[in-house]
Amino acid sequence: MSKERLISRLRNIPDYPVKGVQFKDVTSWFMNPDDLKEIVDSLYEKYKDKGITKVCGIESRGFIVGSILAYKLNAGFIPIRKPGKLPFEKVSVEYEKEYGQDRLEMHKDAICPNDVVLIHDDLLATGGTLFASCDLVKMFKPKRIYVNCIIELTNFQIRDKFPADCPIDCIIEIDEFEGVN
């Protein structure tokens, strides 16, 4: 994979959603079929032999690559949603994030104990949403959990704080301010 080329085409939005944040907009990759294919193929190669039965995509950018990856892995796709978006009975977890408190939800029948689950999101920064997603998936007591993001913002140094039973991997590691003019 050409990480340098992908990094050079990553859109940076200064001061979004709040002043001082350098938002990494991965939709610039999703618009380009070569970039999207490269990202999905790279993730498929990484997880194709792990026995993944369910891919959980975190709202909302985690839905895009997560659902494509689920298809390629012949796995089910499970949306992890913000409150009030799921129509059936659900389980939820509340968590602190960098801009306040929030909650994530999943349908109560989404995962079985014999499932091997991959949790996918676009970006790892402070880790709040991913930690909460791990807690939510753990409620189902699956056989195994993997966690993946496309980008890790290394200046937050969060990777080592993930529990051993939720190993995390990111395909591109950059500093939050890399690519900022």
CA neighbor of 82 nearest in space, from 51, 107, 58: 58
Catalytic residue among 61, 81, 105, 152: 61
Q: Which positions ≥6 away from 77 have C-beta within 8 Å?
A: 54, 55, 56, 57, 66, 67, 70, 71
The three-state secondary structure class of 43 is: helix
Looking from the CA of 74 toward its CB, the CA atoms found within 13 Å total: 4
Chain-centre distance for alpha carbon 23: 15
Catalytic residue among 45, 94, 96, 98: 98
Report the interhelical angle of 33-47 vs 61-73 (nearest 10°).
Answer: 60
Q: Is 152 a catalytic residue?
A: no
Q: Is 98 a catalytic residue?
A: yes
- Active-site residue list: 61, 98
